[in-house]
Amino acid sequence: MTPLRQAQLGGAQAFLCDLAAGFAARGHDVTVHCAAGSDVPGLKLETVPLAEGAADPLLWPTRPPSKPSPAVSEAMKAMFGAINMGGADVISQHAFEPPAFEYSKGLPVLHTLHLPPIVPAVREVAGRVAPPQLATVSRSCQAEWLKAGIGVERVIASGVGIVPGPPAPTEPVALVAGRVTPEKGVEDAIAAARRAGLRVLVAGARLDHGYNPDLSGAEYLGFLPRDELRMLMARSAVTICAPRWDEPFSMVAAEAQVSGCPVAGYRRGALPEIVDDGIGGILAEPDDVSDLARAVRKCLDLDRARVRTSARLRLGLDAALDRYEAAFYTVAF
């Protein structure tokens, strides 16, 4: 639906690239099937062209699902045709689109559900998949699928690659990172940081043209490549995650902690699984900006070396690769 690039549209896209690179580094023969225009250095890519408007049905959790896109369906058909011809031992499938499930029938595939069952058409096709071929990214998200009657057996949390280097000097700024869309709670995050007396930086793409948040209390940096974002996290005093929905995972929270930056966030969705409360960050009551400001202030007193060490043990990419390898053997053999 969109190209894979150094500045990714979301955590699922970023993790897919890290996963592929991690398996290649372990000696596996990896091909990434993706949209034309993708740029993933060091990996073998096989791309499919997308017709104009293929990205229009991108899913926003706070809005009703878009209508099915013929362009996406045709691209998925071509993609899985190429995969079938290539004779892969196993397929790691991350698209949240019905055609990805339909065209992969009969293939050795593990479907990773990066979102809860918020799209009826995806619920329907996922319900026809054998439970061992389904995984999701958090216990919180698994509970939502089980509640919908879909037997998602595996929880495989996304992992973060470790960037070597010494700790960076900390600056008195709060970072708000990720897509600038309604469900991310950017305005709550800015308000909490301002109450805590910190300068605010906002980094992320403005993808929803119908959403115009008030960013006047912050410096907007735009869409940053991942290496730049990780360096910014390492320098920031705190990263704030204020989702307005039960987010199934937060790559921003994971990457920030791995970089040594504590996270202040709302206690909802998967954040309690990602943020080690009191060690990697401080969690606040959902939608309570005053409590979030309290969490921001408490984050300033946390031991950044401990934040980094704890996160690298819990959220590092190697642990995710191990879990995926185990799941792949079950699917393939």
Type and span of the H or E element at 21? helix 11-25
97-115 confidence digits (pLDDT tens): 999 999 999 999 999 999 9
Tell me the C-alpha distance between 79 and 228, whole Å: 32
Residue 153 C-alpha from the chain's centroid: 20
pLDDT of residue 204: 92
Which residues 6+ apart lie within 8 Å of 318 measured at CB? 22, 159
Strand intervals (E) in the chain = 31-35, 44-48, 91-93, 109-113, 134-136, 154-155, 171-177, 199-203, 219-222, 236-241, 263-266, 281-284
Q: Which amino acid is at 158?
A: S
Convert 134-158 to b/e letters by CB count within 10 Å (16 or more is b).
Answer: bbbbbebbbebbeeeebebebbbbb
Domains of the chain: 11-159+317-332 (3.40.50.2000), 171-315 (3.40.50.2000)
3-state secondary structure of 295: helix
> Token digits for 63?
């809005």
**pLDDT 10s digits, 199-227:** 999 999 887 778 889 998 899 999 898 88
Q: Report the 10 Å Cβ neighbour count for 171.
A: 13
Q: What is the pLDDT of residue 56?
A: 63
Q: Can you give the pLDDT at residue 197?
A: 97
3-state secondary structure of 301: coil
Token pair for 97: 């689109």
- pLDDT tens-place string over residues 305-326: 999 999 999 999 999 999 999 9
pLDDT for 143 equals: 98
DSSP per-residue codes, 98-138: HHHHHTTTTS-EEEEE-S-S--HHHHHHHTTS-GGGEEES-
More confident residue, 234 or 5: 234
SS3 of 86, please?
A: helix
pTM of the model: 0.92
Average pLDDT over residues 129-134: 95
Average pLDDT, the chain: 92
Token pair for 299: 């984050």
pLDDT per residue over 285-306, tens digit each? 999 999 999 999 999 999 999 9
Helix, strand, coil content of the chain in percent (nearest 5): 40, 15, 45
